[in-house]
């Protein structure tokens, strides 16, 4: 008998623990909304580096800015020193993002990763309030480090810790168990009841749309109710905008639609715009309690990332065009998904989303994974989300053209039909 030679992919995978074992390809280059493997096979990318590439792969404007910076030997290390690249980012972020939205939050570089920004937010909230407990939600995802995992609502991921995760209490996310805004009433009764043992939490951490949790969209009135609850019980409101920020849901910050102002906000993924690691924690000025050195790290101030982040803000956020375009393109995606749902009424359990993040939920828990596997073969990169991977998640770059969206949605429709 002859055994087939292992593929390059199989050799690679036998030596490392890599992220996407569901995608048997060795990727080589990427441009806009497309990725290419080493043999030149091409995929439309509706995953966008897990939401880190809102402006597409190798965005031409951002690439030019980065090349110019490297060409003139700009500082490339990641220490959070004062640099011209950092100053330019901060000025642009203040002028184009914070001030137009009436936000006076301080900016702290807490990256490289989203989990780092969340850890900083949790640690700061506990330090400010001098209390331990943080309230988080069913199906929430906030990262893999111990603090961020403690507020993540996924039993499988929590089990990865191997130890009990302390000081967090779960609350039902909007509409979970068919819940309503009235859920806050019973939670408030627990807060006020010494018999609950809950005491007074330091903070509440929430995603306005749960990305990993299955594209669960919080209604604006629910978010306003939550903000109100936080105010009345002196808990800080932390919005984790790592995945839904930087325009994913339309507005720059995902909480803008609800008209709430969080005490603390986390940003990462698409803030550098080029896939370079960068994470921020924003907080109200009165929460600035850390002494110098109480929270630091070697890779907090990624200068090349500041350069691409500044170019991204200048290019996409100097006016309201990106928001308008994202909402319009989102309507196109929603219409296509509703057509798929109508055609496959027995299989599809729901369509949910906002801006350019959409989820297609299936009744059969294995169906979403089969759709993603078939889509890969047909040239489309998409991933599942949800507690049982029952939701196909679409996260195309915001720069994906209407034609490319249509092309990807046709592939998706075909993948759903062929796996029915
Ligand atoms: N928060 C949210 C809402 C996320 O979606 C993620 C990543 N999926 C994280 C935090 C963690 O980010 P990172 O993987 O960069 O640590």
Angstrom distances, CA of residue 228 to CA of 186, 199, 263, 286? 15, 18, 12, 19
Tokens 């075909």 belong to residue: 414
Question: CA angle, corner 379, sides to 378 and 381, nearest 5?
Answer: 115
Distance 99 CA to ligand 1 centre (A): 26
User: Could you tell me the two tokens for 254?
Assistant: 């995902």
Nearest atom in ligand 1 to the alpha carbon of residue 115 is: 16
Contact 123, 130 (CB under 8 A): no
φ/ψ of residue 360, rounded to 5: -120, 110
pLDDT tens for the chain, 420 residues long, are: 556 777 777 777 677 666 566 788 999 999 999 999 999 999 999 999 999 999 999 999 999 999 999 999 999 999 889 999 999 999 999 999 999 999 999 999 998 999 999 999 999 999 999 999 999 999 999 999 999 999 999 999 999 999 989 778 889 999 888 777 777 888 999 998 988 888 899 999 999 999 999 999 999 999 999 999 999 999 999 999 999 999 999 999 999 999 999 999 999 999 999 999 999 999 999 999 999 999 999 999 999 999 999 999 999 999 999 999 999 999 999 999 999 999 999 999 999 999 999 999 999 989 999 999 999 999 999 999 999 999 999 999 999 999 999 999 999 999 999 999
Distance 114 CA to ligand 1 centre (A): 5
Asked if residue 112 has a cis previous peptide bond (ω within 30° of 0), the answer is yes
Best CA proximity match to 358, nearest among 236, 217, 182:
217
Contact 381, 49 (CB under 8 A): no
Q: Kind of pairing, strands 209-210 and 264-267? A: unpaired
Nearest atom in ligand 1 to the alpha carbon of residue 279 is: 15
Is the C-beta atom of 393 inside 6 A of ligand 1?
Answer: no
Contact 111, 140 (CB under 8 A): no
Distance 38 CA to ligand 1 centre (A): 28
pLDDT, one tens digit per residue, over 336-363 is 999 999 999 999 999 999 999 999 999 9
Is the C-beta atom of 52 inside 6 A of ligand 1?
Answer: no
User: Could you tell me the two tokens for 271?
Assistant: 């803030």
Report ipTM for this prediction.
0.99
Distance 381 CA to ligand 1 centre (A): 19
pTM above threshold 0.90: yes
Q: DSSP labels for 259-289?
A: T---SEEEE-GGGSSSS----EEEE-GGG--
As a whole number of angstroms, the distance between CA 128 and CA 284 comes to: 11
Contact 56, 400 (CB under 8 A): yes
φ/ψ of residue 259, rounded to 5: 70, 25
Is the C-beta atom of 240 inside 6 A of ligand 1?
Answer: yes
Q: What residue spans of 192-241 are helical by DSSP H?
A: 220-232
As a whole number of angstroms, the distance between CA 278 and CA 303 comes to: 9
Distance 202 CA to ligand 1 centre (A): 21
Q: What is the distance in angstroms between the CA of the first residue and the CA of the last residue of the chain?
A: 36
Is the C-beta atom of 222 inside 6 A of ligand 1?
Answer: no
Is the C-beta atom of 207 inside 6 A of ligand 1?
Answer: yes
As a whole number of angstroms, the distance between CA 33 and CA 43 comes to: 8
CA atoms within 13 A on the CB side of 78: 16
Count of Cβ atoms closer than 10 Å to residue 159 Cβ = 10
Distance 213 CA to ligand 1 centre (A): 11
Is the C-beta atom of 141 inside 6 A of ligand 1?
Answer: yes
Task: Indicate the top mutation candidate among 19, 48, 51, 141 to test ligand 1's pocket, ranked by most ligand atoms within 8 A of CB.
Answer: 141
Task: Indicate the top mutation candidate among 116, 142, 254 to test ligand 1's pocket, ranked by most ligand atoms within 8 A of CB.
Answer: 142
């Amino acid at each position: 008998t002859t055994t087939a030679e292992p593929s390059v992919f199989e050799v690679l995978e036998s030596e490392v623990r890599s992220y996407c074992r569901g995608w048997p390809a060795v990727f080589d280059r990427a441009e806009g909304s497309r990725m290419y493997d080493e043999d030149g096979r091409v995929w439309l990318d509706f995953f966008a580096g897990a939401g880190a590439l809102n402006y597409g792969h190798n965005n031409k404007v951002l690439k030019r800015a980065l090349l110019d910076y490297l060409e003139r030997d700009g500082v490339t290390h990641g220490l959070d020193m004062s640099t011209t690249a950092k100053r330019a980012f901060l000025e642009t972020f203040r002028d184009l993002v914070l001030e137009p939205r009436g936000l006076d939050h301080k900016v702290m570089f807490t990256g490289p990763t989203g989990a780092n920004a969340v850890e900083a937010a949790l640690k700061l909230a506990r330090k400010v309030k001098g209390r331990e407990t943080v309230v988080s939600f069913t199906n929430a995802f906030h990262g893999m480090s111990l603090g961020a995992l403690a507020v993540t609502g996924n039993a499988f991921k929590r089990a990865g810790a191997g130890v009990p995760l302390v000081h967090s209490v779960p609350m039902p996310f909007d509409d979970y168990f068919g819940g309503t805004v009235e859920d806050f009433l019973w939670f408030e009764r627990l807060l006020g009841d010494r018999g609950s043992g809950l005491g007074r939490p330091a903070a509440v951490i929430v995603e306005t749309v749960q990305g990993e949790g299955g594209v669960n969209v919080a209604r604006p009135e629910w978010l306003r109710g939550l903000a109100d609850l936080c105010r009345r019980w002196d808990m800080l409101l932390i919005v984790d905008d790592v995945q839904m920020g930087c325009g994913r849901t339309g507005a720059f910050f995902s909480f803008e639609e609800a008209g709430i102002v969080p005490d603390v906000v986390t940003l990462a993924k698409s803030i550098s715009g080029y896939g370079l690691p960068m994470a921020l924690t924003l907080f109200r000025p009165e929460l600035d309690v850390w002494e110098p050195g109480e929270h630091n790290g070697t890779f907090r101030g990624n200068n090349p990332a500041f350069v691409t982040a500044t170019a991204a803000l200048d290019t996409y956020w100097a006016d309201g065009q990106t928001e308008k375009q994202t909402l319009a393109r989102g309507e196109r995606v929603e219409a296509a998904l509703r057509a798929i749902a109508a055609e496959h009424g027995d299989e599809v359990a729901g369509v949910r989303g906002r801006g350019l993040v959409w989820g297609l939920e299936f009744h059969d828990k294995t169906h979403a994974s089969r759709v993603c596997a078939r889509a890969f073969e047909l040239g489309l990169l998409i991933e599942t989300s949800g507690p049982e991977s029952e939701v196909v998640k679409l996260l195309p770059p915001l720069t994906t053209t209407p034609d490319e969206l249509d092309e990807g949605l046709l592939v998706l429709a075909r993948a759903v039909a062929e796996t029915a």
